Amino acid sequence: MLSWTIVRTPPTGFKQFAPYIVALIELKSGVKMAGQLVDCNILKLKSGVKVKAVLRKVRESSKEGIIPYGIKFKIK
């Protein structure tokens, strides 16, 4: 993890998740991407900490009845 920010005033549709952490992640391939960091203690965040990708539910349901999942990140 290269850097992070804590979102305290989220956009419409994400207010129930605030505050949440968005981190800049560097993958082994060197690609950099932004992703949500989950299941972590905010006080333990520091640059350079190793993270792993995890599959998480994004919403409970959608108009089509499909439960969408997505990739988030967790400290190793």
The per-type count for the chain, helices as H runs and strands as E runs, is 0, 5
pLDDT score, position 65: 82
Task: State pLDDT tens for residues 45-69.
Answer: 899 999 999 999 887 776 778 888 9
Task: Measure Cα distances from 72 to 57, 58, 63 in Å.
Answer: 9, 9, 23
What does the pLDDT look like over 29-49, one tens digit per residue? 999 999 999 999 888 889 999
Length, in residues, of the chain = 76
What pTM was computed for the model? 0.81
Count CA within 13 A, CB hemisphere, residue 32.
7
